[in-house]
Amino acid sequence: MKFALLCAAALFAAPVMADELVASNGQDSVRLLDKPCSSEPVLQRLTPRFREAMREAAAVVGGQPFRACWIVDGDSAHLLYEDGDQGLIPLADFKQPKTA
């Protein structure tokens, strides 16, 4: 329970959380979605208590799409990708996507 409260508090300290946020670096990008993670390859790697806390993410790296899950880790988004890779991206790097 403390873990869930810590995550919720960290989200309020993050940039304004909309339904989705995007961080990009040239052609590469990571999109954080405010909904439960549904990537089975990622969820199978986690213990049940962490599965419920993970949120949905999508990335494009080198032109290749990846599904992922994310969770707040301090002042960063901790991403776990479907191929087993993981990484941290500062929450301050995420912005609301531009609408057309």
Report whether 80 contacts 53 (CB < 8 A).
Answer: no
Q: What is the distance of C-alpha 72 from the center of its chain?
A: 8
**pLDDT classification of 10: cutoffs 50, 70, 90:** very low
Domains of the chain, by residue range, sit at 2-93
For residue 39, which amino acid is it?
S
The overall average pLDDT reported for the chain is 84
Sign of CA dihedral 9, 11, 16, 20: negative
Position with higher pLDDT, 63 vs 9: 63
Selection from 5, 67, 3 nearest residue 35 by Cα: 67
Other C-beta atoms within 10 Å of 30: how many?
Answer: 24
Other C-beta atoms within 10 Å of 35: how many?
Answer: 9
- pLDDT surpassing 90 at residue 19: no
Q: Which two tokens stand for residue 46?
A: 């986690």
Digit-coded pLDDT (tens) for 27-71: 999 999 999 999 999 999 999 989 999 999 999 999 999 999 999
Q: How far apart are CA 95 and CA 15, in angstroms?
A: 8
The pTM is what?
A: 0.78
